[in-house]
Amino acid sequence: MFVRSAAPSDYRLYNGRPLIGFGCVGGVVMVRQTALPPMLAPRLVSREAAAAYVCVSPNTFDEMIEDGRMPRPKVLGGKRRAWDVRALDAAIDRLPIQDDDATADETWDNIDAT
């Protein structure tokens, strides 16, 4: 784990990778996120972190929200919004798989029920 103290914030990396969550600056988490134990990832993430979690740009992530492929954010108060990682996981599970045409499976069409 790499830790660099800098006023006014403390930047931390876990296993060589930045923690993702509220208070991220340039992919590095700030002080309020370090309150979590190192092994506990944040449940709610920012728009940028949610887009990175899904491996798309923030603009593409916005399009995926609009067309229903990704969930809408939780309202934390005021203008603060965050995405639930569990909802993102469920949305990712529902995404289609390339070259997987499940509707073309006709395996049981030729079986006679007698």
80-84 and 74-77 strand pairing: antiparallel
Q: Which amino acid appears at position 76 of this protein?
A: L
Closest CA to 14 of 61, 62, 33: 33
pLDDT of residue 40: 87
Same domain, yes or no: 84 and 59: yes
pLDDT of residue 49: 96
User: Does this model's pTM top 0.75?
Assistant: no
pLDDT of residue 24: 45
The answer to the question of residue 105 being in a domain is no
The boundaries of the domain holding residue 54 are 43-95
pLDDT of residue 102: 61
Same domain, yes or no: 56 and 83: yes
Low-confidence stretches of the chain (pLDDT < 50) are 1-15, 19-26, 28-31
Length of the chain: 114
pLDDT of residue 33: 60
The answer to the question of residue 58 being in a domain is yes
The answer to the question of residue 106 being in a domain is no
The answer to the question of residue 65 being in a domain is yes
pLDDT of residue 1: 40
The answer to the question of residue 55 being in a domain is yes
Q: Domain count of the chain? A: 2
Q: Is the dihedral of CA 99, 93, 50, 26 positive or negative?
A: negative
Same domain, yes or no: 30 and 60: no
pLDDT of residue 108: 67
Look-up of token digits 């923030």: 58
The answer to the question of residue 113 being in a domain is no
